[in-house]
Structures are given as structure tokens and as C-alpha cells.
Chain A
Amino acid sequence: MKLLYGALALLLPVCAQTTLIRNATIYTVSHGTFKGSILVRGGKIVEVGEKVLPPPDAQIIDATGQYVIPGIIDCHTHIAVDGNVNETSVSVSSMVNIADVLDPEDPSIYRALAGGVTTANVLHGSANAIGGQTVVVKLRWGKSAREMLFEGATPGIKFALGENPKRRGNPPESDGAPARYPATRMGIEDTIREAFNQAKAYKAEWDDYHAAVERGRPPLPPRKDLKLEALKEVLEGKRYVHVHCYRADEILMILRLADEYGFKVRTLQHALEGYKVAKEIAAHGAGASTFSDWWSYKVEAFDAIPYNAAVMHKKGVLVSLNSDDAELMRHLNTEAAKVMKYGGLTENEALAMVTLNPARQLGIENRVGSIDVGKDADFVIYDQPPLSNFAKVQKVLIDGRTYFDRDQDLITRRAKDLEKQKLLEKEKEGGD
């Protein structure tokens, strides 16, 4: 561990440092692909172009023959969470917050980083009709939980429809206590409605209180209820709703329910039947974050097709591809490549599905998602074209700092093996 952090400390140049990545093939995603250089100062991109003059103080990363893309953004992950990702006990668990249990030392973070992911939407699980609060993080490996939070990103909340939240025995019946309601899709809608009815009343209570304070005659304040507070924020547009869903009917249900209660669904997560109702999704303004080709693992995933992302995209839905899985998270670039095969999207459209599109879905496109002047210097450098199966991540930068370096990693690995052997032997000797 000591070694690990030591190596990291060596990797991290000072923040105000100027860095030039030169002679790379740059996939800006926003404005084309070309051979050129990127100048970074103070963690931000200050210049991108075919010819950039290196300032005298710049640290040079020579990327001749290499490929640079914006840092990959995963719109759906559950890594870096301590304890259960589901608060399974209740059907509305909006009082819990993933931000409270981030584990910045989860090795999955480093592995995802090594796969080119720089930003991730860390979600509560899908066991609850209304789940917990969610956060966007940058994978600043070695930093604290708070330092990993994506500054200023709108927090979210997880909803879930279909089989997971209605599963009977989740949690199981115990000590004569009945199984959790709901047990049907109808019940899920009812649960969400009931929660928002409560949230509306709660919001009205607080609005009245604030109005009274304005008038100078404040009564006693109402009780602050963390469960309803999060839903009040949804009604006020201060918290994004990310809805786990599969089937077309439940997608339509949640969009209509949101319209009725006056909030927006920010993203439909999975949305494997999104292709059936793409027009309606686009009309609501929801994004869809889906799998490339992962299906039939449960009944509600039987109607999925690999063309889902491309079809929704062509119908005007903002589409991203996510991992929902610590392993898949390490090669989202090849996940993106699949939409070229299934649906004939361009290389740029494919890349956008793991960079600029998820950035827009998470409302952070002013900071990340493409290689543009003024944005954060979050990059992945590959040795092969990024959508190739043979592409290996060479370096990953976040805010202009190198957080993963393949060469360094190989050296550190050997050092860690030695350290481990030493400790094993020490323990053996001391154990008698």
C-alpha cells in the first residue's frame, strides 16, 4: 500500500503544471479527429490543434503514433461503494446517499482508470422503486472520497422499475413480517405516485414556512425528512432522476408519471426496449444509457436487440453506453465500437456514446466529454485506434494529472510483488 501511494505521488505533477501532449491522433469527439497537440495548463485544456507551440516550461508527453480521446464516462456503475448498494428494507429509500459510502480505495477504481474511465455515475442499486441518492465522481485514485466528487455536478437519484423492485421476498419475509410491497408493476407505479404525493405535500409545507418567514411571522419549522427532501429536490429540478428500466410499457409509464408530477426523467438506465418507444423518449427529453449487446439474462431482457443504441440515437434520443459492471467498465471503448457494427454509426458517434453523450446526460458537458479549449484535461492515450480490440491504454490523465501510466504500473507491480513476499515471510517468522 505504502508503495502504491509512493508510486502515485511520483506520478502526480503539480497542479499548475503545463503539459503538452504532442504528435497524437486526437479524437476531439466535438470537432473531428486530426493529428496534433494538446496544451494543458492548471488542469484545463488551453489549446488544441494541429500545430501548438510548446511553452518553455511545458512537460512534454510524446504521443507519436498514439491516440488520444476524452476521458471515458460511465453513466452507470456500482463500484467504489462500501456496504450494500441497495437499501433493500424499504421500497422508497431516497434518504440514503451513495456519497456517504464512497470507498476511494476500492481497487476497482484503479482498474476502471486503467481502462480509460475518468468519470463515473455511481448509482444505488435497483431493488427499490425509488432508490437512494447518487453521485458523479472523477476517478482521482489516491484522493479522498470528497475529493473524488465531481465538483458542481447535479446529484441524482435512482428509480427502478420492473422485476427487481417488485421481486417478492426482497427482503424476505421474516418474523411474521409481510414481504415488502410492491409485488407487481402496478404496485411500483403506485409506490412512486404515493411517494411523490407525499413529497408534494412536504414541499408545500416548506414553501408555506418559507413564505411565512418572508412575511416576518415564522411559525415553527416543519420536520426535515431526508426521504422526502430528496424527492422535493427532484420536483424542484435540483436532482436528476436515473430510472432503471427494461420494457417499453414501463418506460412509457414513468415518462407519463413524470410529466404528470412535473419533473423530468434525466436518464433511462438500461432501457433495453427503448428502441420501441424512442420517439416518446426523445419527446420527453430523457437520455438513455444502455448496454451494447447484453440481454436475455432475465425475462424482461428478452426483447433486447444490439441495434437499440443506434435506433434510439437515430430517433433523436441522447444515448450513452454504460457498464453496470466492474469488469465491463474496463473496456467501454470496445463496447462503443459495437454500435458501428450494429446500426452503422460512425466512429465519432460511437466514441460519443462513452464520452460526450454521457457527459450531457449528467449535465457536465461544459467540463468533460470532449477535447475542447476550456474543458478539463481528462484524456485517455491508446497505442492503437481507441475502438480497436487491440488498443491498450497507455496513460490516463484527469485534470491534467497522470493517474494511470502503463509503464509505471508494470514497474510498481514488480515492486508490490516483492513487498508482498517480504510481508509474507515476515509473518511466517513472527507467527511461531
Chain B
Amino acid sequence: MGLTRWLAVLTIPAALVAQRRSAPQTVVIRNATIVPVRGPVISKGSVALRDGLIDAVGAEVPVPPGAWVIEGEGLTVYPGLIDAASSWGLPSNLGAGNGGRGGRGASNPPPAHGPEDRPASTSWLRAADEIQPSDPRLERARNAGFTSAAVFPMRGIFCGQGALVNLAGDKAGDMVLAPSVGQFVTMQPAGAGFPASLMGVIAYVRQVYLDAQHYTLLKAAYARDPVGMRRPDYDRALEGVLESKRILLPAHRRVEIDRMLRLAAEVQQPAILYGMHEGYRSTDLLKKSGVAVLVSLNWPERPKDTNPEESDSLRALELRDRAPSTPAELAKAGVPFAFYSDGLDQPRDLQRAVRKAIDAGLSREDAVRALTLAPAQMYGLADRLGSIEKGKIANLVVTRGELFDEKTKVEMVFIDGRRFGAPPEPARPAAGGLVTKEER
């Protein structure tokens, strides 16, 4: 009975659109394989969702009256996937970019003459304030099984503060799970003015933390006794940096990993490194440092249209061959890691990228963890997100087949207990007929 009702819903062309608030508040998925991530897999179990939270999970879960029941025969239920660093849902021009002094509004900021001009910095920007629920990438991500993401402004040097958000909601405010999860930092030199080199960027980062320290000291002194003391100048770039719980630093190569670990230690900030394509040969450094890392799913590939007469260096070839083995190596070494989309947003590309890591030795279990509980833990939200446990946020992904398998279909996702349907089947081209857009 329940199943037929659901099927009816699924056949509506607008199946992708969530049910409105009038939808039932309680949903039970039963007789499904449950992968709670924390705790053992339940091969035939149920999950009950109520008021946006997970109400119960187990082999036997009572069905409350009025609940919508989904017959889960042949389905697998996972915690909703989390992209650990993303720009989904954010306007593409968010942040300073790399054009000179930071700030919105100034379309052509003058080039910076030094660290004092706070080049390419919008550390005060909060992704939580800039969410666009209408971003089409949100739907694509949901179709790939993602329900949440840590989204960051990603332009500039101190780009701004990230938020952990759900990938659906009536309005931006509904989507925010945590408004400030860290400051996104890049090592991109400014397009004009200072800093014009990598060493300039590092010097700038170092100077900012020295300034932040000094600023804190001055502000405290002024707060204690303003009489007879010149007030410290308000500095929004330093305010943003001081507000940030942690910094995200870029590091693909082993040399960069070493460099960024030293920088994080020097500026005394809790850090997460992102990139990690040479993580497979850097586990010793990472293990010793104790930092968590984000592995880019945008694996290095052979550039298109290269000169066939020329072959790449051994280094480049090895990197392309070994980068996808990074997650397996990190898991083996016990380095906490999560995946991030790094520009991918097509379901097929995301699935394929994770599969590549699995083919290179990562266990399925660790792959799921790297997209669920691991990022939740890194951002300090494991008490509400990342696993199927009573009382946590009702974010789930339901698949037919095991997640990341070639033929697996994402049947539906739940975000805050609200169901989102599967993407439409791409139409098969009739003999001599039209090919749909997806297939071309």
C-alpha cells in the first residue's frame, strides 16, 4: 500500500521537487539494508524519521500510526553524503578573487602595496550568509546522494568562513547546520600588486597572524582602560581570521604538505589540509602531525590534446597512477580523511571518482565513512550528522545496489526528513529517434 503511494509520487514529473511541509512528518523505511556507518550493517532493518530527525533505527522498528512506509526490499540506506569542501549553493563570484585589496563593492580594487592592505582577503565573509537555494548544482549533488556540504568562499587568499549546510531547504536559513566551520585559505598570488609570489603569500599569511595577535592585545588593553589610549583601528580582515575555528590549507604535493604543516604549526592554528593527490607518499608526515585531510576527488588526468610525440615525466605519470591510492594509504596509516568534490558536480563524475579510489584499494566502508562521518567529525558535528543514529539529523541516501557501484541507482535522498526523488531516467533514443540532452 505504502509502496504504491510512493510510486504514485514518483511518477509525477515534478518528482525532483521536495514534498512541501504538508508531507507526512513520519517516514519509515523498512526491510532495507541499513549502513549506519557507526555500528554494524543491519541486513534487514528499518529507519524511522520524524520531524526531521532520525527517530529510530534497528532490525525492528514500530511503525507509528500515520507514518508513510517505504518498502525497502532491495534498497540500501546510508547516511546522506557530505562534500567536505565545496562551493555548491554559493554565488560563483563570492570573495575577493585575487584582484588586489579585499572587499566587496570595489569592482576594481587598487593593487595592494603590502600585507597592510590585506590583499585578496575577505576573511569576514560567511558562506552561511550567501547561500542560494536555487543553485542548480544542489539538485545535481542530491542526485549523486549528497545531502550536505561544507561550503566555502574559495576566491582569494583568506577567502572567508565556511558553513556546513544541507543541500535543500525552503530558504537559506533552513539549510545552515553550522555557520562557521573554518577559514578557507589558498596560496594563490594576487592578480595585481602584493603578493605576487608564493613566498609573498606565505609572508602575508604569517604577517596576518602576527597582526591578529597584536590586534587582540591592543583591543584587550583598550577594553580594560580606554582613557588616554588611542583606539585600535578596526580591522575586518583580522576580525574574520580571529573568528575562524580552523584554517583549511592547500597541499597536493608532499613538499606542499610538509610546508603547510609547518605553516599551520607556526601560526598556531588548527588546520585541515586539502588537495592530497600526493597523499599516498606523505602518510608519514600526516600521521605525525595528527591533522585531518581532505582528498580531492578531481583526480589528475592526462591532459587532453597533448603532443603525441611527447611523453610526460615519470613524476607526472606516477602521480596520475598513484593519486587515487591516496585514500587507501591514508586509511592504512590511520590518517583521518574526507573527500571533497573540487569542482566536480555531475553525479556520474563523483561516483566514478570514488570508485577509482575503491579500485585503488580503499574499502567501501572507508569510502562511505570519508563521505559521511569523517567530515562530520572534522567539523565537530558528529553528534548530529554523519551516521544513522537515533536523534541525528534525518539526512539519508537510499540506493538500489551498493553505493559507488557502476549500476547503482540513487533512489532518493532525505534531507531534514524530507524526501527528494531520483533523477529521471535518461530517455533511450528510439530507433532513429532523438537523443536526449543527457545522452549527448
Seen from chain A, the residues whose Cβ lies within 8 Å of a Cβ on chain B are 1-2, 4, 82-90, 93, 95-98, 100-101, 103-105, 124, 132, 144-146, 171, 174-177, 220-221, 223-227, 416, 419-420, 423-424, 426-427, 431
Shortest A426–chain B CB gap in Å is: 7
Shortest B121–chain A CB gap in Å is: 15
Chain A residues near B221 (CB, 8 Å)?
Answer: 220
Instruction: Please list the 10 inter-chain residue pairs (A to B) with the smallest Cβ-Cβ separation, ordered nearest first.
Output: A83-B198, A84-B197, A89-B194, A423-B317, A96-B199, A89-B196, A87-B200, A95-B203, A100-B202, A96-B203
Inter-chain contact A84/B202, CB cutoff 8 Å: no
29 A–B contacts from the bound complex (CB under 8 Å): A1-B314, A2-B318, A82-B198, A82-B255, A83-B197, A83-B198, A86-B197, A87-B197, A87-B200, A88-B197, A89-B111, A89-B190, A89-B195, A95-B207, A96-B197, A96-B200, A97-B199, A100-B203, A100-B263, A132-B199, A145-B258, A174-B192, A176-B110, A177-B192, A221-B217, A226-B210, A416-B314, A420-B314, A427-B320
B113 touches A (CB below 8 Å): yes
Q: Pick from B110, B195, B211, B281: contact of A177, CB below 8 A.
A: B110
- Rounded to whole angstroms, the CA-CA distance of A221 and B110 in the bound complex is 31
Closest chain A residue, CB of each to CB of B232: A220
* B interface, over-half SS: helix
Q: Pick from B113, B259, B321: contact of A90, CB below 8 A.
A: B113
Inter-chain contact B198/A420, CB cutoff 8 Å: no
B423 touches A (CB below 8 Å): no
Inter-chain contact A101/B202, CB cutoff 8 Å: yes
Q: Pick from B111, B196, B254, B317: contact of A424, CB below 8 A.
A: B317
Inter-chain contact A87/B194, CB cutoff 8 Å: yes
Q: Could you mark each residue 221-247 of chain B with 1 if its beta carbon is under 8 Å from any beta carbon of chain A, else 0?
A: 100000000000000000000000000
Contact A223/B214 with A90-B113, A177-B192, A423-B314 known, Cβ cut-off 8 Å:
yes
- Rounded to whole angstroms, the CA-CA distance of A176 and B193 in the bound complex is 12
- Rounded to whole angstroms, the CA-CA distance of A1 and B254 in the bound complex is 12
Chain B residues near A83 (CB, 8 Å)?
Answer: 189, 197-199
Shortest A88–chain B CB gap in Å is: 5
- Rounded to whole angstroms, the CA-CA distance of A370 and B14 in the bound complex is 81
Chain B residues near A145 (CB, 8 Å)?
Answer: 255, 258-259
Closest chain B residue, CB of each to CB of A98: B199
Chain A residues near B115 (CB, 8 Å)?
Answer: 95, 226-227
Shortest B284–chain A CB gap in Å is: 10
Shortest A160–chain B CB gap in Å is: 15
The interface centre, meaning the residue of B214, B218, B263 with most chain A CB atoms within 10 A of its CB, is B214
The interface centre, meaning the residue of B113, B196, B311, B321 with most chain A CB atoms within 10 A of its CB, is B196
Q: Pick from A86, A105, A175: contact of B111, CB below 8 A.
A: A175
Inter-chain contact B259/A171, CB cutoff 8 Å: no
Shortest A206–chain B CB gap in Å is: 13
